[in-house]
């Protein structure tokens, strides 16, 4: 694992967007997994700007969405579908065959998981997986207590997630379950970037980077990834003992 600390949210987001563009330039058939949430919003904006300016060819990439709330319709502004549609897809001409998102409204969520696992295994790998980190150390909806050996799964949401998750919705939403890629996908991904910004993430970043590797803090799995990068701004790094940049 490598720790990269950036001056601020802007430079962190630019570095993340650059990294995504670099993977696509190196491998036009790259399989890219991105998260939704507040953290990746500026990364998406800068990524879109760059691919439009550079007229990058995205016609052979595969895009995978990290997770989705169960039971939340895609046109709800708090859904991951909505995020990807508004931050990425409306600007990029990706075909339907290139995009794989979990359907959180499916009445057969196990099949949804199996379908996503098949996509990844048939592609052979995820080339670049960008993830955020929750206040409880979750990655996607890999909640505290999750097995590191799990692929896609449906899970009950941790209490922290159901409370913090309200920030994405206009009115209070009953959030109970999520569907997500698993940490086994993360450990098998060629490259992983975990991004975080702001002082509110400093405590969980300290546990993730300097604490023991434990499924109580799912993001601590990053310590074991040879090609894993923790990319954070100075505020999120503010509680770390050993700081490198
Ligand atoms: P955030 O969410 O980017 O909105 O902070 C991160 C997460 O819960 O994974």
Structure tokens at 223: 């310590």
Task: Measure the CA–CA gap between 139 and 186, rounded to whole angstroms.
Answer: 9
Catalytic residue check, 188: no
Q: Considering 67, 68, 127, 233, which one is annotated as catalytic? A: 67
Please give the distance, rounded to the nearest whole angstrom, from the Cα atom of residue 202 to the centre of ligand 1.
Answer: 13
Q: Considering 81, 138, 153, 185, which one is annotated as catalytic? A: 138
Per residue of the chain (245 residues), give pLDDT as tens: 999 999 999 999 999 999 999 999 999 999 999 999 999 999 999 999 999 999 999 999 999 999 999 999 999 999 999 999 999 999 998 999 999 999 999 999 999 999 999 999 999 999 999 999 999 999 999 999 999 999 999 999 999 999 999 999 999 999 999 999 999 999 999 999 999 999 999 999 999 999 999 999 999 999 999 999 999 999 999 999 966 44
Confirm or reject: Cβ of 134 under 6 Å from ligand 1.
yes
Q: Which atom of ligand 1 is nearest to the CA of 161?
A: 8
Which residue has the least CA distance to atom 7 on ligand 1? 134
pLDDT digits (tens, 9 = 90+) for 192-201: 999 999 999 9
Reduced to 3 states (helix: H, G, I; strand: E, B; else coil), residue 116 is helix
Confirm or reject: Cβ of 78 under 6 Å from ligand 1.
no
Catalytic residue check, 138: yes
Confirm or reject: Cβ of 132 under 6 Å from ligand 1.
yes
Q: Considering 112, 136, 185, 225, which one is annotated as catalytic? A: 136
Q: Which atom of ligand 1 is nearest to the CA of 201?
A: 5
Directed axis angle between helix 41-53 and helix 9-26, to 10°?
50
Please give the distance, rounded to the nearest whole angstrom, from the Cα atom of residue 35 to the centre of ligand 1.
Answer: 8
pLDDT digits (tens, 9 = 90+) for 112-171: 999 999 999 999 999 999 999 999 999 999 999 999 999 999 999 999 999 999 999 999
Query: C-alpha distances in angstroms, 182 versus 81, 120, 196, 200?
Result: 18, 11, 19, 25
Confirm or reject: Cβ of 197 under 6 Å from ligand 1.
no
Confirm or reject: Cβ of 37 under 6 Å from ligand 1.
yes
- The set of long-range contacts for 138-143, using a CB threshold of 8 Å and a minimum separation of 24, is 138/218, 138/219, 139/183, 139/186, 139/194, 139/218, 139/219, 139/221, 140/35, 140/66, 140/67, 140/178, 140/180, 140/181, 141/67, 141/178, 141/179, 141/180, 142/180, 142/182, 142/183, 142/218, 143/178, 143/218
């Amino acid at each position: 694992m490598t720790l990269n600390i950036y001056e601020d949210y802007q430079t962190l987001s630019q570095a993340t967007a650059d990294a995504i563009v670099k993977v696509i330039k190196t491998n036009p058939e790259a399989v890219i997994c991105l998260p939704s949430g507040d953290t990746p919003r500026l990364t998406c904006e800068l990524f879109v700007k760059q691919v439009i300016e550079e007229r990058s060819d995205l016609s052979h990439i595969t895009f995978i969405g990290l997770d989705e709330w169960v039971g939340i319709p895609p046109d709800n502004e708090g859904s991951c579908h909505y995020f990807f549609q508004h931050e990425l897809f409306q600007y990029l001409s990706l075909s339907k065959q290139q995009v794989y998102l979990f359907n959180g409204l499916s009445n057969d969520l196990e099949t949804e998981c199996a379908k996503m696992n098949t996509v990844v295994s048939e592609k052979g790998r995820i080339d670049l997986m960008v993830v955020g980190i929750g206040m409880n150390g979750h990655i996607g909806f890999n909640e505290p207590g999750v097995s590191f050996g799990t692929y896609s799964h449906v899970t009950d949401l941790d209490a922290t997630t159901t409370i913090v998750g309200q920030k994405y919705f206009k009115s209070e939403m009953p959030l109970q379950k999520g569907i997500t890629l698993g940490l086994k996908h993360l450990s098998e991904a060629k490259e992983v970037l975990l991004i975080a910004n702001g002082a509110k993430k400093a405590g969980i970043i300290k546990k993730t980077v300097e604490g023991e590797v434990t499924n109580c803090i799912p993001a601590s799995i990053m310590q074991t990834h040879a090609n894993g990068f923790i990319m954070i701004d100075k505020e999120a790094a503010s509680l770390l003992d050993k700081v490198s940049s």
